[in-house]
Amino acid sequence: MSFEKLGVIKPILSAIKELGYEKPTTIQTRAIPLVLAKSDVFATAQTGTGKTAAFGIPMLQRLRNVTPEARVVRGVIISPTRELSIQIYEDMQSYAKNMSLNIAVFVGGKDLDTQQKILKEGVDIIIATPGRIMEHVEKGLNLSHVEIFVLDEADRMLDMGFMKEIRKIHPLLPKRHQTLLFSATYSDKVRKLSKLILTKPEFVETSKKNSTVDTINQVVYLVDTDKKAALLAYIIGSRNFRQVLVFTRTKASADELVLELKKDGLKCGIIHGDKTQANRLKTLNEFKEGKTKVLIATDIASRGLDIEELPFVINYELPSIPEDYVHRVGRTGRAGRDGMAISLIDIYEKYDIKDVERLIGMKIPQEVVEGFEPDPTIRRRDQEELKLKSEHKKVEVKRAKKSYKKPDAAKKTPSVKKTPSVKKAVTSKKRKTTKRD
C-alpha cells in the first residue's frame, strides 16, 4: 500500500516524504480512508504505531479549504497531556507545511491571553488539553463550526479524570460533525465514552488488546530494592547505552534516582509533574540532542514523549497501573524499529509483574545479572504481602471447597482428624452415611 493509493493529496504527500514516511503503517492504511469518507472512527492502536498521522493526515486533507478572511475553528484534537499535545502539534505542522491552515496548540502553563490573541487572529485547528480548552470555552471560544473532533489517548484521559471536561465540550459541537476516538487500550470506560460520543462508528483494531509492540524485546531482571540503582548504572555503563529512558513510579523516587546515578557519574535529565513546562521541554530537547543520555520520567510525563529510534526503556519500578507498562514500553520500538524494554523487579513487585503479564498476554523472561543476584533470605513482610497472601488463600479455600464436592476428594478428607471437634464432625457424617446406606 502507498499513501497515494489511500488518496492522500500532493501537498501532504511531499511533506511526509520529507519526514521519511515511505509507506503507511497498518493503522494509517485502515484509518485514513475511513476518515476521508467522513465516518466516525473508534481505533485502538498501540503507542508508536503512527496513529497521529492516521488521524492527522486525513483531518488536514478534509479541512484543507480555507477562507482566510473568515477563519473559524473547524478541527479540535484533545489529548491528555501537555507534552503529547505539543508533540501532535509539531507533527501536524510538519504534515501541513505545504498548506495554508492555521494550527494552534493550547496547553496549561502557557499564557492564556497570548493564546486568546492567537485565536482572534484566526485558527483552523486547535490541539489542546481538556482543562485548557475549557478555559478558552469559558472565555467565549466558539466550537459550533467544528467538523472534526479527535480524542487521542482517550483511555489515559479517562484515567486522569477528564470525563467531566469531555462531557462539557461535547454538547458545544454542532450536531453534524465527525468524531475520531483513539485509545491505546480498550477498557469499559473507553467503551462507555464511545457510546456517548460516536455515531455509527467504524472500528479499527490494529493490535491485540493491550499487547505490546512485537518488535520490542522484553526482559525482567530480578534484583533487591537497594541494589536497583547500582544495577541500573551497571547496565547503562557496561552496555554503553547512549540513549535510555528510565521510568520510576513516583516523583520522589525519580528525584532520588537522579542523585544516585550522579554518584556513578551519569548525567540525567528528569521529567515529572513538579517540573515546569519550560523545564520539561528543555530537558526533553537535551535528551533528544544527546546532551544527556539518561532521561528519568514518571508515567504522567511518559505519554507525550516521542523520541526517534529510542532503543531502550528501563522500568526502574513497575507502574501502579498495568496498562501504563504498555504505554511506557511503547516509547521504544516505534514504527517498526527494534527496541528493548528492561524491568528491574524486586520482591515487592512480584505480583505487579504478574498483572502486567496477564494484561499483555505473554510471559516476560526473567533473568538475574551476575553480581546483582537477589538475596534469597529476603522475604516480604509488609501488610500488602499479608493481604495478597490472604486473598490467594481465599481462592485456594474456594478451590478446595469445590474439589471437596468431588467423590474422590471426599474420600481424602477424613485425614483431617486432629482435633476432637473435627473428629466428631467426621464421625457423625460417617454415621449419617451409614444410616442412609
* Site of interaction with ligand AMP (CB under 6 A): 21, 24-25, 28, 47-53, 306, 308, 334-335
Residue written as cell 492516521? 54
Residue 170 or 288: the one with the smaller Cβ distance to ligand AMP is: 288
CA distance 109 to 4: 40
182: enclosing H helix or E strand: strand 178-183
Nearer to ligand AMP by Cβ, of 306 and 317: the residue is 306
C-beta of 25 vs 102, nearer to ligand AMP = 25
Shortest distance in whole angstroms from residue 91 CB to ligand AMP: 6
CB of 321 to ligand AMP, least distance (A): 20
Distance CA 432, CA 425 (A): 11
Nearest residue (CB) to ligand AMP, 321 versus 335: 335
Q: Which is nearer to ligand AMP, 48 or 75 (CB)?
A: 48
Query: Concatenated DSSP letters for 34-60?
Result: HHHTT--EEEE--TTSSHHHHHHHHHH
Nearer to ligand AMP, 214 or 367 (CB): 214
Q: Name the minimum Å distance from CB 249 to ligand AMP.
A: 24
Shortest Å distance, C-beta 47 to ligand AMP: 6
Cα–Cα dist 299/273, whole Å: 9
Q: Minimal distance in Å, beta carbon 156 to ligand AMP?
A: 13
Amino acid at 257: L
State how far the Cα of 60 lies from the Cα of 106, in Å rounded to an integer.
18
**Minimal distance, residue 191 CB to ligand AMP, in Å:** 22
Question: 305 vs 360, which CB is nearer to ligand AMP?
Answer: 305
Can you tell me the distance from the alpha carbon of 316 to that of 344, in angstroms, rounded to the nearest whole number? 5
Q: Rounded distance, CA 104 to CA 100, Å?
A: 13
Coil/strand/helix, residue 401: helix
Phi and psi of 243, rounded to 5°? -150, 110
For residue 116, what is its C-alpha cell? 486568546
Distance between CA atoms of residues 381 and 358, nearest Å: 25
Q: Specify the residue, 213 or 235, whose C-beta has the smaller distance to ligand AMP.
A: 213
By the 8 A CB rule, do 38 and 178 touch?
yes
* Distance separating alpha carbons of residues 314 and 319, to the nearest angstrom: 12
Q: Which is nearer to ligand AMP, 308 or 373 (CB)?
A: 308
- Is residue 372 classed as helix, strand or coil in its secondary structure? coil
Return the H-helix or E-strand segment holding 398: helix 383-404
Nearest approach, Cβ of 24 to ligand AMP (angstroms)?
5
Cβ neighbours for 183, distance < 8 A, ≥ 6 positions apart? 43, 44, 45, 153, 154, 155, 190
Could you tell me the smallest distance in angstroms from the CB atom of residue 122 to ligand AMP? 27
Q: How far is the CB of 152 from ligand AMP (least distance, A)?
A: 9
